[in-house]
Amino acid sequence: MKELKILLVIVVIVGITYWGIEPLAHSIMHKHIEEAIEKYNLPDYKFSDLGPAPAISGDAAQGKKNFQMFCASCHGLKADGIPAPMDPKTAAASFGVVPPDLSNVASFTAENFLYHFIKDPARASEFKKISMPAMGLDDKQIMDIIAYLKSTAKKIHGAELFKEACGRCHGAKYQKIYADTPADALKKYLGKVPPDLSIIMKAKGEHYLVAFINKPQALLPGTSMPRVGLNEEATEDLMKYLDEISDPHKEQRKKVGLIVLAYMLVMIGLTYAWKKKIWRNIH
């Protein structure tokens, strides 16, 4: 009884300390993050600050023509046999970043975001120095292009999604994925080399990542990471991937953990029985 009382006292002291240095401290240190998430109601997959896309149904065939006229000087679209106009080095030297291939962009980007991005990249991405210019296209032209992009887009997952959505700036070197753009060009363009994302899930956690990718400026005011407008499905897919690569032994850990704990339970029983036996004649 006395032994249990001592244990209880220690459990209470350790419990209070743990509560103070973990949940309490984190809630206080990360207050500004929670506040930003609440203020902007993140993740906001409607990108409600931008408003909807115009209700015009686009024409993919016309869109392809527009694409070749306005976009193909910078972007490739491999799915439809349009190669990248420049090699990555030249592209990086010209724009600071390699313009992404747009084959599947419509499958992982929200439609109204895409519309606003093509109309005014700096406003939609919330990155003033973004190197894609606003081209003064009218709504019909843009919606035609979007219809074309949709016609070529396949659903992509995991590593492929990561490479197409983030790969122009970020690598995941533990997966042997390297950013398309050379680091020094990125540094010049963005002011810093974007971090490697191999174990970013462990460093930041899903709650933060989802909100950050949805609206970087809300959580890191002044950051040079553009908003990229991932839709909900793609965000979830990407989170799953980032979690898998940052913690590849999750399943194994659970399994081994349970076996070890079960073993320790048996040990507790055996040692208790032995103690009982030895102490029977004491007191």
Pick one of ligand HEC, another protein, none as the site partner of residue 198 (Cβ within 5 to 8 A by kind). Answer: another protein
Verify binding: residue 200, ligand HEC, rule CB under 6 A: yes
Q: Phi and psi of 133, rounded to 5°?
A: -80, 155
Piece of 9-17, 93-101, 120-128, 150-158 that binds another protein (CB under 8 A): 9-17
C-beta of 253: minimal distance to ligand HEC in Å?
23
> 């048996």: which residue's tokens?
266
Q: What is the DSSP letter of 227?
A: P
Nearest alpha-carbon partner for 79 in 92, 60, 95: 60
Alpha helices by DSSP H, the chain:
2-19, 25-29, 31-39, 60-66, 88-95, 105-108, 111-119, 121-125, 139-152, 158-166, 183-190, 200-204, 206-214, 216-219, 232-246, 250-279
Nearest alpha-carbon partner for 190 in 150, 162, 222: 222
Verify binding: residue 100, ligand HEC, rule CB under 6 A: yes
Tokens of 63: 């869109």
Question: Rule CB under 8 A: which residues touch another protein?
Answer: 2-3, 6-7, 10, 13-14, 16-18, 20-22, 24-25, 28-29, 174, 195-196, 198-200, 202-205, 246, 248-249, 253-254, 256-257, 260-261, 264-265, 267-268, 270-272, 274-275, 277-279, 282
Question: Rule CB under 6 A: which residues touch ligand HEC?
Answer: 70-71, 73-75, 95, 97, 99-100, 102, 105, 109, 114, 117-118, 130-133, 135, 145, 165-166, 168-170, 190, 192, 194-195, 197, 200, 204, 209, 212-213, 220, 223-226, 228-230, 238
